[in-house]
């Protein structure tokens, strides 16, 4: 079911169902390297939500296309609504649906910068008697298959977009990636992450100071194939369908009981 397709009377009865799971797809509108469209982070969760909807009784709300993307704003086309902005919108979505009975929410997230806002709304929702789960698809994928490495504006996201709509990938725009490593000793292994010894350390910089192309993670290797994307898409959808069924059966009162 899609909330946007129901009338209010239908929504009234759907939201009353004790075991309803509400899926909230969200992402960001931001630069995704030379190949990926600006909508990568919300196009993917929206597509996942549509696939999951077809296989479950979950209620899918309209996709949130904007998120927390301050570190990408040096690249044109990026829109950042800030931590407070996203927190406010997600809180509003959850509160208004809870008012009419919904208790279980699944944030289907496509962008890492959104995590702190979702954590905050998750705890608020818990204290109001509900529960929020959060699936970040790009982190889930490597847990399903260790070959499915992650990054930003990189092979993984390109593969996923190719599986959804190959025409959105700008194959002729590939430019060589130049990484401005923090120092000779502290080399970036990801945006905002350097390697020191056997561990990684987070160092925050604007993305455009770290990498010229905006993408990081194996684009030039040609790894981002449609075949990989299709396999990954199917595995992520299957996992989410299974999770929705398990989440539906959670005893909400039991989850709130002090132990």
Part in contact with Zn ion (CB under 5 A); list of ranges 37-45, 54-62, 73-81, 198-206: 37-45
Part in contact with Zn ion (CB under 5 A); list of ranges 33-41, 50-58, 68-76, 77-85: 33-41
Give the distance, in angstroms, between the CA of residue 222 and the centroid of all CA atoms in the same chain. Answer: 23
Q: Tell me the three state secondary structure of residue 68.
A: coil
41 sits near Zn ion (criterion: CB under 5 A)? yes
Part in contact with Zn ion (CB under 5 A); list of ranges 36-44, 70-78, 83-91, 234-242: 36-44
Instruction: Give the binding-site size for Zn ion (rule: CB under 5 A).
Output: 1
State the nearest-atom distance from the C-beta of 30 to Zn ion, in Å: 7
Helices 115-127 and 82-98: angle between axes, nearest 10 degrees:
30
Q: Tell me the three state secondary structure of residue 99.
A: coil
Q: Tell me the three state secondary structure of residue 131.
A: strand
**How far apart, in whole angstroms, are the C-alpha atoms of residue 15 and residue 120?**
23
**Alpha helix stretches (DSSP H) within 23-146:** 40-55, 82-98, 115-127, 137-144
The two structure tokens encoding residue 128: 């109001």
State the nearest-atom distance from the C-beta of 133 to Zn ion, in Å: 20
154 sits near Zn ion (criterion: CB under 5 A)? no
Residue nearer to Zn ion on the CB measure, 41 or 53: 41
State the nearest-atom distance from the C-beta of 32 to Zn ion, in Å: 6
Q: Which residues bind Zn ion (CB under 5 A)?
A: 41
């Amino acid at each position: 079911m899609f909330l946007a397709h129901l009338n209010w009377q239908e929504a009234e009865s759907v939201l009353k169902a004790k075991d309803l799971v509400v899926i909230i797809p969200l992402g960001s509108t931001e630069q995704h390297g030379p190949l990926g469209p600006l909508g990568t982070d919300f196009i993917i969760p929206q597509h996942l939500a549509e696939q999951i909807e077809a296989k479950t009784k979950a209620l899918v709300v309209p996709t949130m296309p904007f998120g927390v993307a301050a570190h990408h704003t040096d690249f044109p086309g990026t829109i950042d609504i800030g931590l407070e902005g996203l927190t406010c919108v997600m809180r509003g979505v959850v509160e208004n649906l809870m008012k009419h009975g919904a208790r279980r929410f699944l944030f289907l997230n496509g962008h890492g910068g959104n995590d702190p806002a979702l954590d905050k709304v998750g705890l608020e929702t818990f204290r109001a008697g509900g529960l929020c789960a959060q699936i970040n698809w790009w982190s889930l994928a490597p847990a399903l298959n260790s070959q499915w490495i992650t990054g930003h504006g990189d092979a993984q996201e390109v593969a996923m977009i190719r599986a959804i709509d190959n025409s959105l990938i700008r194959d002729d725009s590939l430019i060589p990636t130049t990484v401005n490593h923090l120092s000779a000793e502290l080399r970036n292994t990801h945006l905002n992450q350097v390697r020191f010894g056997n561990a990684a350390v987070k160092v925050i910089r604007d993305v455009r100071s770290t990498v010229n192309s905006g993408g990081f993670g194996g684009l030039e290797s040609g790894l981002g194939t449609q075949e990989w994307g299709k396999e990954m898409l199917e595995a992520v959808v299957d996992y989410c369908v299974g999770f929705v069924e398990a989440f539906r059966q959670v005893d909400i009162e039991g989850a709130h009981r002090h132990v």
